[in-house]
Structure 1
Amino acid sequence: MTNDYGDNHDYDDNYDAPTSPPRGKAGRRRSTTPQPKSGPASEKVEKEPEPDVFADVGEFVEHWLAPVLAGKLLGGGRGRTWCRQWWRHREVSVRLHALWRGWEGARRSEEPLAMSSWWVQHTDPHLRALCDGEAGPMWRCTPEAHVDIPAYPTIPVPAGWFDADHNDEQPPADGGRGPDFRTITARTAGDAA
Protein backbone atom coordinates (compact mmCIF):
# COMPACT_ATOMS: atom_id res chain seq x y z
CA MET A 1 0.00 0.00 0.00
CA THR A 2 1.41 3.43 -0.88
CA ASN A 3 1.27 6.34 1.53
CA ASP A 4 0.76 10.09 1.00
CA TYR A 5 4.40 10.37 -0.09
CA GLY A 6 4.03 7.96 -2.99
CA ASP A 7 6.15 5.16 -1.55
CA ASN A 8 5.67 2.10 0.63
CA HIS A 9 7.35 3.47 3.79
CA ASP A 10 5.34 3.97 6.96
CA TYR A 11 6.41 7.45 8.16
CA ASP A 12 5.82 8.67 11.70
CA ASP A 13 3.64 11.80 11.79
CA ASN A 14 6.50 13.75 13.40
CA TYR A 15 8.77 13.45 10.36
CA ASP A 16 8.84 14.99 6.91
CA ALA A 17 9.30 12.60 4.01
CA PRO A 18 12.87 12.42 2.80
CA THR A 19 13.68 14.13 -0.46
CA SER A 20 16.33 13.12 -2.94
CA PRO A 21 19.76 13.32 -1.33
CA PRO A 22 21.05 16.90 -1.45
CA ARG A 23 24.58 17.49 -2.60
CA GLY A 24 27.11 19.80 -0.99
CA LYS A 25 29.16 22.32 -2.94
CA ALA A 26 31.90 19.74 -3.33
CA GLY A 27 29.48 17.21 -4.85
CA ARG A 28 29.17 14.76 -1.92
CA ARG A 29 25.77 13.52 -0.87
CA ARG A 30 24.44 14.97 2.34
CA SER A 31 22.47 13.05 4.95
CA THR A 32 18.94 12.00 4.02
CA THR A 33 17.83 11.15 7.56
CA PRO A 34 14.26 12.36 8.04
CA GLN A 35 14.22 15.57 10.08
CA PRO A 36 11.67 16.06 12.87
CA LYS A 37 8.92 18.62 12.31
CA SER A 38 8.89 21.50 14.74
CA GLY A 39 6.70 20.69 17.73
CA PRO A 40 5.54 22.55 20.81
CA ALA A 41 8.09 24.86 22.45
CA SER A 42 8.26 22.55 25.48
CA GLU A 43 9.61 19.71 23.30
CA LYS A 44 13.30 20.06 22.55
CA VAL A 45 14.33 17.96 19.60
CA GLU A 46 18.06 17.57 19.07
CA LYS A 47 18.91 18.35 15.46
CA GLU A 48 21.39 16.09 13.81
CA PRO A 49 24.50 18.11 12.98
CA GLU A 50 24.67 19.24 9.38
CA PRO A 51 27.50 17.43 7.54
CA ASP A 52 30.61 19.28 6.41
CA VAL A 53 30.65 20.65 2.88
CA PHE A 54 34.28 19.61 2.40
CA ALA A 55 35.80 16.24 3.27
CA ASP A 56 39.14 17.67 4.43
CA VAL A 57 41.29 20.79 4.51
CA GLY A 58 42.81 20.00 1.11
CA GLU A 59 39.42 19.99 -0.56
CA PHE A 60 38.50 23.22 1.29
CA VAL A 61 41.66 25.05 0.17
CA GLU A 62 41.55 23.77 -3.41
CA HIS A 63 37.83 24.21 -4.08
CA TRP A 64 36.91 27.19 -1.92
CA LEU A 65 39.67 29.20 -0.23
CA ALA A 66 42.23 29.49 -3.06
CA PRO A 67 39.63 30.47 -5.68
CA VAL A 68 38.19 33.11 -3.32
CA LEU A 69 41.58 34.65 -2.48
CA ALA A 70 43.23 37.06 -4.84
CA GLY A 71 46.18 39.37 -4.57
CA LYS A 72 49.64 40.19 -5.70
CA LEU A 73 52.14 37.46 -4.85
CA LEU A 74 55.87 38.02 -5.03
CA GLY A 75 57.60 35.40 -2.89
CA GLY A 76 61.27 34.78 -2.38
CA GLY A 77 61.40 36.91 0.79
CA ARG A 78 59.33 39.83 -0.51
CA GLY A 79 55.71 40.94 -0.16
CA ARG A 80 53.06 38.22 0.01
CA THR A 81 53.82 34.70 -1.10
CA TRP A 82 52.07 31.36 -1.52
CA CYS A 83 53.35 27.86 -2.14
CA ARG A 84 51.43 25.54 -4.46
CA GLN A 85 52.53 22.73 -2.16
CA TRP A 86 51.21 24.50 0.94
CA TRP A 87 50.45 21.14 2.60
CA ARG A 88 54.21 20.46 2.90
CA HIS A 89 54.50 23.32 5.41
CA ARG A 90 53.28 22.10 8.81
CA GLU A 91 52.36 25.54 10.12
CA VAL A 92 50.38 26.28 6.98
CA SER A 93 48.55 22.94 7.17
CA VAL A 94 47.70 23.35 10.85
CA ARG A 95 46.46 26.93 10.46
CA LEU A 96 44.45 26.18 7.32
CA HIS A 97 42.91 23.16 9.03
CA ALA A 98 41.77 25.44 11.87
CA LEU A 99 40.36 27.89 9.30
CA TRP A 100 38.49 25.10 7.51
CA ARG A 101 36.92 23.86 10.77
CA GLY A 102 36.01 27.46 11.65
CA TRP A 103 34.48 28.02 8.21
CA GLU A 104 32.33 24.90 8.55
CA GLY A 105 31.18 26.11 11.98
CA ALA A 106 30.44 29.65 10.74
CA ARG A 107 28.51 28.22 7.80
CA ARG A 108 26.31 26.19 10.17
CA SER A 109 25.86 29.04 12.63
CA GLU A 110 22.57 30.87 12.91
CA GLU A 111 24.48 34.00 13.96
CA PRO A 112 24.19 36.47 11.04
CA LEU A 113 27.76 37.76 11.51
CA ALA A 114 29.45 34.38 12.02
CA MET A 115 31.02 34.34 8.55
CA SER A 116 32.11 37.97 8.84
CA SER A 117 33.75 37.18 12.19
CA TRP A 118 35.45 34.18 10.61
CA TRP A 119 37.04 36.46 8.02
CA VAL A 120 37.96 39.42 10.24
CA GLN A 121 38.96 37.66 13.47
CA HIS A 122 40.54 34.50 12.10
CA THR A 123 41.19 34.29 8.37
CA ASP A 124 42.72 37.73 7.79
CA PRO A 125 45.26 37.41 10.66
CA HIS A 126 46.17 33.83 9.70
CA LEU A 127 46.65 34.72 6.04
CA ARG A 128 48.80 37.74 6.95
CA ALA A 129 51.05 35.44 8.98
CA LEU A 130 51.07 32.60 6.44
CA CYS A 131 51.61 34.67 3.30
CA ASP A 132 54.21 37.04 4.78
CA GLY A 133 57.02 36.85 2.21
CA GLU A 134 59.65 37.94 4.75
CA ALA A 135 58.79 36.01 7.92
CA GLY A 136 55.97 33.57 7.09
CA PRO A 137 56.40 29.81 6.84
CA MET A 138 56.45 29.96 3.02
CA TRP A 139 58.94 32.86 2.81
CA ARG A 140 61.44 31.00 0.64
CA CYS A 141 58.77 29.68 -1.73
CA THR A 142 57.26 31.30 -4.78
CA PRO A 143 53.93 30.45 -6.36
CA GLU A 144 55.96 28.33 -8.83
CA ALA A 145 58.43 26.57 -6.50
CA HIS A 146 58.40 24.91 -3.07
CA VAL A 147 61.46 25.17 -0.82
CA ASP A 148 61.66 23.13 2.39
CA ILE A 149 62.22 25.23 5.47
CA PRO A 150 63.71 23.52 8.53
CA ALA A 151 61.78 23.52 11.81
CA TYR A 152 63.09 25.43 14.82
CA PRO A 153 65.81 23.41 16.58
CA THR A 154 64.88 21.84 19.92
CA ILE A 155 66.19 19.35 22.42
CA PRO A 156 63.92 16.82 24.17
CA VAL A 157 62.03 18.12 27.20
CA PRO A 158 63.20 16.42 30.41
CA ALA A 159 60.79 13.77 31.72
CA GLY A 160 58.25 15.22 34.14
CA TRP A 161 59.14 18.82 33.28
CA PHE A 162 55.49 19.85 32.92
CA ASP A 163 54.19 17.83 35.88
CA ALA A 164 52.49 19.85 38.63
CA ASP A 165 54.98 18.69 41.28
CA HIS A 166 58.07 19.49 39.19
CA ASN A 167 60.41 21.35 41.59
CA ASP A 168 63.87 20.80 40.11
CA GLU A 169 64.12 24.52 39.40
CA GLN A 170 62.39 27.29 41.26
CA PRO A 171 60.70 30.04 39.23
CA PRO A 172 62.60 33.32 39.15
CA ALA A 173 61.80 35.73 42.00
CA ASP A 174 60.47 38.25 39.50
CA GLY A 175 57.99 35.67 38.14
CA GLY A 176 59.88 35.47 34.84
CA ARG A 177 59.17 39.06 33.87
CA GLY A 178 62.82 40.12 33.86
CA PRO A 179 64.42 43.22 35.41
CA ASP A 180 62.42 46.41 35.85
CA PHE A 181 64.42 48.75 33.62
CA ARG A 182 62.70 51.81 35.16
CA THR A 183 64.37 51.12 38.54
CA ILE A 184 67.73 50.28 36.96
CA THR A 185 67.70 53.56 35.03
CA ALA A 186 66.64 55.52 38.13
CA ARG A 187 69.42 53.94 40.25
CA THR A 188 72.02 54.50 37.54
CA ALA A 189 71.01 58.14 37.17
CA GLY A 190 71.04 58.57 40.96
CA ASP A 191 74.46 56.92 41.28
CA ALA A 192 75.90 59.30 38.70
CA ALA A 193 74.72 62.39 40.61
Structure 2
Amino acid sequence: MTNDIGLFAPAPGSGDSGVSAEKPAEEPKAPELVYGSAEEFLHEQLLPTYVRDVDNRALKWCIEWYFHPEALSRIEALWRAWEHLRLDGATGMSVWWRDHADHHMRVLLDPRGPFHKCDMQKHRDPEHLEPKKAPAGWFPDVRGIQP
Protein backbone atom coordinates (compact mmCIF):
# COMPACT_ATOMS: atom_id res chain seq x y z
CA MET A 1 0.00 0.00 0.00
CA THR A 2 1.35 3.42 -0.89
CA ASN A 3 1.25 6.57 1.17
CA ASP A 4 -0.80 9.15 -0.75
CA ILE A 5 -0.40 11.96 1.77
CA GLY A 6 0.88 15.03 -0.03
CA LEU A 7 0.45 13.44 -3.45
CA PHE A 8 -0.81 16.69 -4.97
CA ALA A 9 1.34 19.10 -2.98
CA PRO A 10 4.01 20.99 -4.94
CA ALA A 11 7.51 19.64 -4.64
CA PRO A 12 9.72 21.60 -2.25
CA GLY A 13 11.64 24.32 -4.09
CA SER A 14 9.59 23.96 -7.28
CA GLY A 15 8.38 27.55 -7.03
CA ASP A 16 4.80 26.41 -7.46
CA SER A 17 2.78 28.10 -4.76
CA GLY A 18 -0.28 26.05 -5.60
CA VAL A 19 -2.24 29.19 -6.49
CA SER A 20 -4.09 28.84 -9.75
CA ALA A 21 -3.98 31.61 -12.32
CA GLU A 22 -7.63 30.89 -13.05
CA LYS A 23 -10.37 33.00 -11.50
CA PRO A 24 -11.64 31.33 -8.31
CA ALA A 25 -15.00 29.63 -8.68
CA GLU A 26 -17.89 31.77 -7.53
CA GLU A 27 -19.88 30.49 -4.62
CA PRO A 28 -23.28 29.25 -5.65
CA LYS A 29 -26.02 31.82 -5.21
CA ALA A 30 -28.52 30.95 -2.49
CA PRO A 31 -31.92 30.12 -3.96
CA GLU A 32 -34.51 32.85 -3.69
CA LEU A 33 -37.40 32.36 -1.31
CA VAL A 34 -40.79 31.65 -2.82
CA TYR A 35 -42.58 33.40 0.06
CA GLY A 36 -41.37 36.57 1.74
CA SER A 37 -42.75 35.80 5.19
CA ALA A 38 -44.34 33.12 7.34
CA GLU A 39 -47.67 34.93 6.98
CA GLU A 40 -47.50 34.90 3.19
CA PHE A 41 -46.61 31.20 3.31
CA LEU A 42 -49.56 30.50 5.62
CA HIS A 43 -52.06 32.29 3.38
CA GLU A 44 -50.68 31.27 -0.01
CA GLN A 45 -49.41 27.72 0.56
CA LEU A 46 -50.15 26.09 3.91
CA LEU A 47 -53.84 26.78 4.54
CA PRO A 48 -54.96 26.34 0.92
CA THR A 49 -53.34 22.88 0.84
CA TYR A 50 -53.88 21.75 4.45
CA VAL A 51 -57.67 21.73 4.46
CA ARG A 52 -59.51 20.47 7.55
CA ASP A 53 -62.98 20.90 8.99
CA VAL A 54 -62.33 22.94 12.11
CA ASP A 55 -65.29 22.47 14.42
CA ASN A 56 -63.80 23.88 17.65
CA ARG A 57 -64.22 20.46 19.28
CA ALA A 58 -61.89 18.05 17.49
CA LEU A 59 -59.79 20.81 15.89
CA LYS A 60 -59.18 24.40 16.98
CA TRP A 61 -57.91 27.44 15.09
CA CYS A 62 -57.61 31.08 16.03
CA ILE A 63 -58.47 33.72 13.47
CA GLU A 64 -55.76 35.88 15.07
CA TRP A 65 -53.14 33.15 15.12
CA TYR A 66 -50.31 35.72 15.15
CA PHE A 67 -51.05 36.59 18.82
CA HIS A 68 -49.93 33.10 19.84
CA PRO A 69 -46.13 32.86 20.26
CA GLU A 70 -46.11 29.08 19.82
CA ALA A 71 -48.15 29.34 16.63
CA LEU A 72 -45.81 32.01 15.27
CA SER A 73 -42.78 29.86 15.95
CA ARG A 74 -44.32 26.71 14.47
CA ILE A 75 -45.59 28.46 11.34
CA GLU A 76 -42.20 30.11 10.87
CA ALA A 77 -40.58 26.67 11.21
CA LEU A 78 -43.02 25.20 8.69
CA TRP A 79 -42.23 27.98 6.21
CA ARG A 80 -38.45 27.70 6.61
CA ALA A 81 -38.54 23.91 6.29
CA TRP A 82 -40.77 24.15 3.21
CA GLU A 83 -38.43 26.66 1.54
CA HIS A 84 -35.48 24.32 2.17
CA LEU A 85 -37.11 21.00 1.32
CA ARG A 86 -38.84 22.24 -1.86
CA LEU A 87 -35.39 22.22 -3.45
CA ASP A 88 -35.14 18.44 -3.03
CA GLY A 89 -36.92 17.21 -6.13
CA ALA A 90 -36.92 13.60 -4.99
CA THR A 91 -38.43 13.33 -1.51
CA GLY A 92 -38.33 16.87 -0.17
CA MET A 93 -42.07 17.48 -0.15
CA SER A 94 -42.82 14.05 1.29
CA VAL A 95 -40.35 14.71 4.11
CA TRP A 96 -41.89 18.15 4.66
CA TRP A 97 -45.41 16.73 4.93
CA ARG A 98 -44.42 13.80 7.13
CA ASP A 99 -41.87 15.43 9.43
CA HIS A 100 -43.05 19.02 9.51
CA ALA A 101 -46.60 19.78 8.35
CA ASP A 102 -48.29 16.73 9.85
CA HIS A 103 -46.45 17.15 13.13
CA HIS A 104 -46.85 20.90 13.64
CA MET A 105 -50.40 21.15 12.34
CA ARG A 106 -51.48 18.30 14.62
CA VAL A 107 -50.11 20.29 17.57
CA LEU A 108 -51.50 23.63 16.40
CA LEU A 109 -55.02 22.32 15.75
CA ASP A 110 -55.21 20.15 18.87
CA PRO A 111 -58.13 21.20 21.11
CA ARG A 112 -55.65 21.47 23.98
CA GLY A 113 -53.02 23.20 21.83
CA PRO A 114 -52.09 26.88 21.61
CA PHE A 115 -55.57 27.91 20.41
CA HIS A 116 -57.46 26.07 23.16
CA LYS A 117 -59.17 29.24 24.44
CA CYS A 118 -59.99 30.60 20.98
CA ASP A 119 -62.37 29.77 18.21
CA MET A 120 -62.71 30.67 14.55
CA GLN A 121 -64.42 33.98 15.33
CA LYS A 122 -62.85 35.12 18.61
CA HIS A 123 -59.28 35.36 19.86
CA ARG A 124 -58.53 35.08 23.56
CA ASP A 125 -55.05 35.86 24.79
CA PRO A 126 -53.10 32.75 25.72
CA GLU A 127 -51.98 32.22 29.28
CA HIS A 128 -48.24 31.82 29.50
CA LEU A 129 -46.58 29.28 31.71
CA GLU A 130 -44.96 31.01 34.66
CA PRO A 131 -41.56 29.51 35.51
CA LYS A 132 -39.72 29.84 38.77
CA LYS A 133 -36.03 30.73 38.53
CA ALA A 134 -33.65 27.83 39.23
CA PRO A 135 -31.19 28.18 42.10
CA ALA A 136 -28.08 30.21 41.30
CA GLY A 137 -25.40 28.23 39.47
CA TRP A 138 -27.67 25.49 38.09
CA PHE A 139 -27.59 26.93 34.57
CA PRO A 140 -24.32 28.84 34.11
CA ASP A 141 -24.01 31.10 31.07
CA VAL A 142 -21.80 29.16 28.64
CA ARG A 143 -21.71 31.65 25.77
CA GLY A 144 -18.07 32.56 26.33
CA ILE A 145 -16.84 29.00 26.90
CA GLN A 146 -15.07 27.38 23.95
CA PRO A 147 -15.84 23.69 23.32
Q: Same fold (TM over 0.5)?
A: yes
Query: C-alpha distance in 1, partners of 2:135/2:88?
Result: 43
- Structure 2 residue corresponding to 1:160, chosen from 113, 137, 143: 137
Q: Tell me which amino acid in the other structure corresponds to 1:116.
A: S
Cα distance, 1:52 vs. partner? 0.7
Question: Secondary structure at the residue paired with 2:86?
Answer: helix
1:136 equivalent in alignment to 2:113:
yes
Matched, 1:54 2:35: yes
Using the alignment, how far apart are the partners of 1:48 and 1:89 within structure 2? 35
* RMSD, matched Cα: 2.1
| Whole-Å separation in 1 of the counterparts to 2:136 and 2:101 | 37
Residue identity in the other structure for 2:44 = H
What is aligned with 1:74? 55
Question: Is 1:115 matched with 2:93?
Answer: yes
Larger relative CO (CA 8 A, sep 6+): 1 or 2?
2
In structure 2, relative to structure 1, the CA distance for the partners of 1:46 and 1:160 (3 Å cut) is same
> Residue 67 of structure 1: CA displacement?
1.6
Equivalent residue for 1:124? 102
Residue 163 of structure 1 and its aligned partner are, at CA, apart by 2.4
Q: How many residues align?
A: 119
Letter in 1 for 2:75: L
| Residue aligning to 2:80 | 101
CA displacement, residues 86-143 of structure 1 (integer Å, 9 cap, x when unaligned): 1111111101111100000011234x1011100011110111111011x111012111
Q: Helix, strand or coil: the match of 1:150?
A: coil
Question: Runs of 5+ in structure 1 lacking a partner?
Answer: 1-42, 166-193
User: Once the 2 structures are TM-superposed, how far is the Cα of residue 158 of structure 1 from its aligned partner?
Assistant: 4.0
* Distance (whole Å) between structure 2 residues aligned to residue 113 and residue 164 of structure 1: 40
CA distance in 2, matches of 1:68, 1:101: 17
Once the two structures are superposed, the pairs formed by residues 17-32 of structure 1 within 5 Å of their partners are none
Whole-angstrom CA distance in 2 between matches of 1:99 and 1:150: 24
Percent of paired sites with the same residue:
34
Q: CA deviation at 1:155?
A: 2.0
For 1:88 and 1:68, the matched residues in 2 are separated by 23
Q: Gaps spanning 5+ residues in structure 2: where?
A: 1-23, 143-147
